[in-house]
Structures are given as C-alpha cells and as structure tokens.
C-alpha cells in the first residue's frame, strides 16, 4: 500500500507560538493554513471544529486536547505527543504521523483517507466505527487498540505491528495481511477472519482463541 505524502506549500510560514492559537478560536474553531510549528504545548485545550491544512508539527504536545469534529488535511505530525487526544468524528486526509505517541487517542467515528502511522506508540487507540481508506500502520504498537465496527470498504495495511489484545469485533479482515504482526490475544469472531492473510502458526493461535481444539 502506498500512502501519498501530504501536499505542503513550497515555503511554510513560521507561525505564532502554538500556545497562542487558542486566542484565535471562535465558535467555529481555528483555521491554520501553511504554518510550521515546533515544540508547542496545547495539552488539554479545547480546539473542536478547527481546521489544519498544509501544516507541519514537530515535537509538539497535544496530550488530552479536544480536537473533535475537526478537519485535518495535508499535515505532518513528527515526534508529537497526541496521547489521549480526542479526534472524534474528525476528517483526516493525507496526514502522516511519524514517531508519534497516540496512546489512548480517540478517533471514534472519524474518517481517515491516505493516512500513515510510522513507528508510533498507539496502545489503546480507538478507531471504532471509523472509516479507513488507504490507511497504513508501520512498525506501530497497537496493543488493546479498538478497530471494532469499522465501516465497510476497509482499506488498511498493518506491517510489523503489535496487535496483542486488539479488538476487531464486527470488522471484516478480508485481504488484510497480518503475517508480520503480533496477534496474541487479538479479539474477534469467526466471520471477521474470513479472507484474512495469516501464517500457519497464527492460524493455530486464532483457532485456539475461537475455541477450536487442535489435536496432533
């Protein structure tokens, strides 16, 4: 799976300090277009219904920030801490997360298209009832992540990810390749597995999870 790189302006503007963004917020949120942010801290802030376009965030802290119902397009987050961030029902298009922390982040009901997660720690991330189109996780920690009830037409790549105890209830895994992932204790039911690509060893482990007794 190839995820296109975010389209950024030829020259990004150095923005005001990220901590001052809240002063720009009105009832319709904040609009940020074509800025570069470094080492800012907006942990716990309320930035619902905000728009971010053509921006880069490096080393910024969004821990516990409320960014639900937002619109994020052509954005790169690099080495940012988004643990516990709320992006419920947000729209993300051509967004890259590189070396970020997203543990406990809530993206329930969000729509993700052309989104890449590379070497991220995202244990407990919630993607329940989300729409995932051309979404890639590479070498990510996703223990106890929730991928339950993901919308139809799932387009997802999981490469070298830790999926131990992750939840895939009511999410069909047809054509999803799990062969390079750790899947001990993964939570799902028989129908979800139809068409999934696994190794022989993984198939045995999944059979045990589903209550199948294997005799030699």
- DSSP annotation of 169 reads T
Identify the band that residue 28 occupies on the pLDDT scale cut at 50, 70 and 90. low
H or E segment and range at residue 173: none
Helix, strand, or coil (residue 33): strand
Please give the structure tokens belonging to residue 157.
């790549």
What is the predicted pLDDT for the residue at 23?
A: 67
| pLDDT tens, residue by residue, 183-192 | 999 999 888 8
- Please give the pLDDT value at position 118: 98
Where does 13-209 sit in CATH, by number?
Answer: 2.160.20.80
How buried is residue 100: exposed, middle or buried, by Cβ count under 10 Å (0-12/13-18/19+)?
A: buried
For residues 102, 103, 104, 108, the Cα torsion angle rounded to the nearest 10 degrees is 40
pTM, rounded to two decimals: 0.93
- Which pLDDT band holds residue 34 (cuts at 50, 70, 90)? confident
What pLDDT was estimated at residue 20? 77
**pLDDT over threshold 80, residue 66:** yes
Backbone φ and ψ of 208, nearest 5°? -65, -40
- Mean pLDDT is lowest, of 60-64, 103-107, 118-122, 189-193, for 189-193
Residue 180 predicted with pLDDT over 90: yes
Indicate whether 84 pLDDT > 80. Answer: yes
């Amino acid at each position: 799976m190839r995820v296109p790189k975010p389209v950024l302006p030829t020259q990004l503007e150095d923005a005001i300090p990220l901590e001052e963004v809240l002063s720009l917020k009105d009832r319709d949120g904040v609009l940020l277009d074509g800025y570069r942010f470094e080492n800012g801290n907006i942990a716990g802030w309320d930035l619902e219904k905000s728009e971010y376009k053509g921006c880069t965030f490096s080393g910024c802290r969004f821990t516990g920030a409320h960014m639900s119902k937002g619109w994020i397009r052509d954005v790169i987050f690099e080495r940012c801490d988004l643990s516990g961030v709320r992006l419920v029902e947000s729209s993300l298009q051509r967004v890259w997360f590189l070396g970020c922390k997203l543990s406990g982040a809530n993206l329930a009901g969000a729509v993700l298209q052309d989104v890449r997660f590379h070497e991220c720690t995202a244990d407990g991330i919630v993607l329940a009832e989300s729409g995932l189109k051309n979404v890639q996780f590479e070498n990510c920690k996703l223990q106890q992540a929730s991928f339950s009830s993901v919308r139809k037409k799932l387009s997802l790549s999981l490469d070298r990810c830790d999926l131990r105890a992750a939840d895939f209830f009511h999410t069909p895994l047809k054509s999803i390749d799990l062969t390079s992932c750790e899947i001990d204790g993964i939570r799902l039911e028989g129908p979800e597995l139809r068409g999934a690509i696994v190794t022989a060893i993984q198939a045995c482990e999944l059979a045990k999870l589903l209550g199948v007794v294997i005799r030699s």
